């Protein structure tokens, strides 16, 4: 993996200034689709696309961990314009091209059976984005969100837990930590990604993630539910991996500059909480109370859907 040096006169200025809703639904930015490629390998489940958008009409300032709003064209059944959808940005503030004029998204096409008719229903915005042609215009709002911002401390311990497209903000974090050579942010801490996916072909950004393992301070752990077994012989989900490593994770949490980030399906939270609660009880620790303290200290970051 190549390492590029990024310089920007605005780098120091935006370091702690958090841009919020620079563009709104009433006055969105018109971005241009530069890239739309499939991330799921042959034999995988569903479709997930990596999209890159040109924001030269902006600028569109954002920080790693923020989200962009996309306004799909058309109207709903009531004749009203479709509401915007939020997607975690999957690139650093410099974008995939490094010039600060793009941002990227990781989008899974939503598909489900109608509860009454059984008819296949496709998500409005996700289908729109997954089918975008290069050169197409897109209406963008935002950026928004503060919960998933990477801490400024370059010596921090960063623990990331993701399922599916929840990998998006962590791709941004990992590029920030390991791929870019930023004068104001030289990461010297440690990072651990625990990534839950159904099959090996569904490992999004697999080549990038595994290439990051050349860095001694990055650790990658998969939970591949349809291929791996947990301790009880059932499917291996992310909460099972957390339970396997909970003693080590708990030790890491004792460091004042350890941050936990959780992104993906909302159902993952309960299992992660259960794993920690079961472990810390032996120390007389009330896990919900301890987790609340971590949240107040801005060390426990969650964005689930």
Active site positions, annotated? 87-88, 263, 303, 305
Locate 220 and state its tokens: 């990658």
Helix (H) or strand (E) run with residue 167 in it: none
* C-beta separation of 37 from 192 below 8 A: no
Both tokens of residue 231? 């301790």
7 CB-contact burial (10 Å; exposed 0-12 / middle 13-18 / buried 19+): exposed
Helix 246-253 vs helix 268-280: angle between axes, to the nearest 10 degrees? 80
Q: Tell me which residue of 221, 276, 236, 271 sits closest to 252, measured CA to CA.
A: 276
Q: Give me 154's structure tokens.
A: 């370059």
Rounded CA separation 83/190 (Å): 39
């Amino acid at each position: 993996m190549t390492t590029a040096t990024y310089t920007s006169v605005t780098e120091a200025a935006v370091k702690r200034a958090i841009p919020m809703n620079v563009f709104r639904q009433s006055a969105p930015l018109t971005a241009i689709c530069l890239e739309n490629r499939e991330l799921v390998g042959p034999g995988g489940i569903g479709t997930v696309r990596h999209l890159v958008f040109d924001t030269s009409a902006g600028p569109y300032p954002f920080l790693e961990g923020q989200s962009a709003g996309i306004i799909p064209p058309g109207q709903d059944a009531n004749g009203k314009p479709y509401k915007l959808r939020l997607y975690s940005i999957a690139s650093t503030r410099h974008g995939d091209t490094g010039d600060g004029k793009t941002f990227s998204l990781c989008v899974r096409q939503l598909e489900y059976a109608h509860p009454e008719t059984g008819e296949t229903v496709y998500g409005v915005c996700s289908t729109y984005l997954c089918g975008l042609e290069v050169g197409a215009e897109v209406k963008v709002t935002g950026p928004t969100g503060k919960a998933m911002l990477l801490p400024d401390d370059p010596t921090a311990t960063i623990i990331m837990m993701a399922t599916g497209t929840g990998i998006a903000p962590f791709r941004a974090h990992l590029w920030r930590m390991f791929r870019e050579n930023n004068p104001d942010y030289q990461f010297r801490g440690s990072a651990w990604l625990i990534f839950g996916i159904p099959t090996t072909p569904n490992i999004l950004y697999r080549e990038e993630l595994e290439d990051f393992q050349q860095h001694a301070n990055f650790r990658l752990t998969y939970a591949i539910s349809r291929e791996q077994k947990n301790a009880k012989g059932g499917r291996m989900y992310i909460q099972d991996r957390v339970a396997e490593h909970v003693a080590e994770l708990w030790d890491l949490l004792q460091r004042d500059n350890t941050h936990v980030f959780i992104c993906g399906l909302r159902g993952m939270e309960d299992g992660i909480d259960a794993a920690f609660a079961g472990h810390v009880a032996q120390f007389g620790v009330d896990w919900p109370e301890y987790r609340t303290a971590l949240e107040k200290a801005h060390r426990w970051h969650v964005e689930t859907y």
